[in-house]
């Protein structure tokens, strides 16, 4: 989106409105992706990207810095390189544009599409809305079976409204839902008791082999990353007893809109990988 500012009938600057695809908004990673999406039908060299950043955002970055970001994007399979030029992959671009279109409609979480390889939300609240909406609609299961398994370190201790509670109940009634939780503590135990009343299975003390949350729903596996969030929650959980829980939910609820903890999802729909993940999870609770 371009806004032309004028002064005495003369344009003085083109202001390109940044989409917050890879928070923080002003990061080089996010700026480079905005350039690539705005030129999705073009192949751009590093120098051309550098020039567009200077022109559109009045920012200067090194050739090496931009090139490093592009190599990272290539490793994530969201850009392709031809000779010395770069272009965003059409499938990924289609998925992220769907996300951005959904964001433009106030109050609506974006719709998951199989083309999505990765998507980032500025806060936990937006990420939670995205997952709930796409589980309820069935979009996230990608035509697979009604099975949801999530392997987490701790269960998030967030307050949910009545609408979200009813949604969780509907999901649990329709699908087999399981949480495999690494840590045994008072909060996880209390949440597990509540989950069991609505039909969600919880297994405590299941060790993880990765530092991030792995979830399977139907024929989709997705990984959840949130730098700093896991450590923050673990520190909050330490030392909690039934006597000092007053006000604790308010503390965690404040995190939901905290943009210091963006959440990133990456998706895998290869059926062999999905099946292997499912079998691995089920073996952990036998």
Question: Do 131 and 158 contact (CB within 8 A), yes or no?
Answer: no
| Residue 99 maps to a domain | no
| Residue 11 maps to a domain | yes
Which of 4-18, 35-49, 80-94, 211-225 is the least confident region? 4-18
| Residue 97 maps to a domain | no
Four-residue CA torsion sign, 158, 161, 162, 164: negative
| Residue 107 maps to a domain | no
Which of 23-32, 45-54, 160-169, 266-275 is the least confident region? 160-169
Whole-prediction pTM: 0.64
User: What CA–CA distance (Å, rounded) separates 131 from 271?
Assistant: 20
For residues 277 and 146, membership in a common domain is answered with: yes
Which residue range forms the structural domain that includes residue 277?
112-284
For residues 161 and 82, membership in a common domain is answered with: no
Which of the two residues, 17 and 120, has the higher pLDDT score?
Answer: 120
CA dist list (Å): 107 to 15, 102, 211: 26, 9, 31
For residues 123 and 68, membership in a common domain is answered with: no
| Residue 96 maps to a domain | no
What is residue 265's DSSP assignment? E
For residues 259 and 154, membership in a common domain is answered with: yes
For residues 151 and 236, membership in a common domain is answered with: yes
| Residue 199 maps to a domain | yes
Bond from prior residue into 24 cis (ω within 30 degrees of 0): yes
For residues 128 and 54, membership in a common domain is answered with: no
What is residue 56's DSSP assignment? H
Q: Give the pLDDT band of residue 13 (cuts 50, 70, 90).
A: very low
Q: Give the pLDDT band of residue 246 (cuts 50, 70, 90).
A: low
pLDDT tens digits, one per residue of 181-209: 998 888 888 889 888 988 999 999 999 88
pLDDT of 158 reads 64
Burial class of residue 277 (count of CB atoms within 10 Å of its CB; 0-12, 13-18, 19+)? middle
For residues 72 and 164, membership in a common domain is answered with: no
Burial class of residue 209 (count of CB atoms within 10 Å of its CB; 0-12, 13-18, 19+)? exposed
| Residue 14 maps to a domain | yes
Is 171 a residue whose pLDDT tops 70?
yes
Q: Which two tokens stand for residue 258?
A: 């905290």
Q: Residue 215 phi/psi, 5° resolution?
A: -135, 145
User: Which residue stretches of the chain are H helix?
Assistant: 28-38, 46-57, 63-75, 90-103, 124-136, 162-174, 186-197, 229-237, 248-255, 271-284
For residues 146 and 248, membership in a common domain is answered with: yes
For residues 162 and 227, membership in a common domain is answered with: yes
- Give the CATH number of the domain where residue 158 resides: 3.30.870.10
For residues 44 and 126, membership in a common domain is answered with: no
How many structural domains are present in the chain? Answer: 2
Is 56 a residue whose pLDDT tops 90?
no
Query: Taking Cα atoms as reference points, which of 277, 261, 45, 47 lies closest to residue 149?
Result: 277
pLDDT of 10 reads 32
- Give the CATH number of the domain where residue 38 resides: 1.10.10.10
| Residue 214 maps to a domain | yes
Give every strand in the sheet of 213-217, ordered side by side: 118-121, 263-268, 220-225, 213-217, 147-152, 176-181, 201-204
pLDDT of 85 reads 94
Q: Give the pLDDT band of residue 174 (cuts 50, 70, 90).
A: confident
For residues 268 and 136, membership in a common domain is answered with: yes
Mean pLDDT of the chain: 81
């Amino acid at each position: 989106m371009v806004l032309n500012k004028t002064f005495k009938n003369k344009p003085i600057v083109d202001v390109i409105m940044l989409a917050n695809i890879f928070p923080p908004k002003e990061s080089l990673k996010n700026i480079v992706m905005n350039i690539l999406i705005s030129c999705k039908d073009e192949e751009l060299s590093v120098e051309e990207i550098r020039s567009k950043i200077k022109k559109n955002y009045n920012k200067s970055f090194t050739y090496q810095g931009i090139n490093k970001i592009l190599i990272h994007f290539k490793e994530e399979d969201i850009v392709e390189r031809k000779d010395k030029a770069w272009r965003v992959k059409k499938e990924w671009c289609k998925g992220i544009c769907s996300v951005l279109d959904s964001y433009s409609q106030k109050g609506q979480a974006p719709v998951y599409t199989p083309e999505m390889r990765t998507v980032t939300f500025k806060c936990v609240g937006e990420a939670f809305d995205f997952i709930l909406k796409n589980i309820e609609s069935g979009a996230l299961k990608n035509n697979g079976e009604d099975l949801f398994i999530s392997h987490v370190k701790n269960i998030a201790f967030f307050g949910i409204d009545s609408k979200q509670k009813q949604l969780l109940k509907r999901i649990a009634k329709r699908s087999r839902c399981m949480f495999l939780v690494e840590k045994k503590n008072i909060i996880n135990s209390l949440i597990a008791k509540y989950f069991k009343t609505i039909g969600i299975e919880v297994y405590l003390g299941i060790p993880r082999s990765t530092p991030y949350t792995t979830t399977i729903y139907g024929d989709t596996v997705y990984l959840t990353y949130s730098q700093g969030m896991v450590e923050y929650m673990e520190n909050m959980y330490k030392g909690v007893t039934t006597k000092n829980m007053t006000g604790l939910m308010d503390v965690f609820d404040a995190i939901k809109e905290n943009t210091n903890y963006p959440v990133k999802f990456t998706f895998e729909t290869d059926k062999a990988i999905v099946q292997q993940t499912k079998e691995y999870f089920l073996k952990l609770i036998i």
